[in-house]
Amino acid sequence: MTGSAAERQAAGTPLLEVLDVRKSYGDRLVLDDVSLSVQPHDVICLIGSSGSGKSTLLRCLDLLEEIDDGVIRLDGREISDPLVDQREVRGRIGMVFQAYNLFPHLTILENCTLAPRRAHGVGRREAH
Q: Do 27 and 76 fall within a single domain?
A: yes
- Computed from CA positions of residues 117, 111, 46, 68, in that sequence, does the dihedral angle turn out positive or negative? positive
pTM score? 0.70
Q: Do 82 and 123 fall within a single domain?
A: no
Distance separating alpha carbons of residues 49 and 3, to the nearest angstrom: 41
Q: Do 35 and 77 fall within a single domain?
A: yes
Domain that holds residue 119: 96-128
Q: 92 to each of 53, 81, 98, 116, how far by Cα in Å?
A: 22, 16, 20, 9
Q: Do 85 and 103 fall within a single domain?
A: no
Tell me: the pLDDT tens digits for 54-103?
999 999 998 889 999 999 999 999 998 888 888 888 878 877 666 667 78
Side-chain-facing half-sphere of 126: CA atoms under 13 Å: 9
Residue 83 one-letter amino acid: L
Q: Do 31 and 66 fall within a single domain?
A: yes
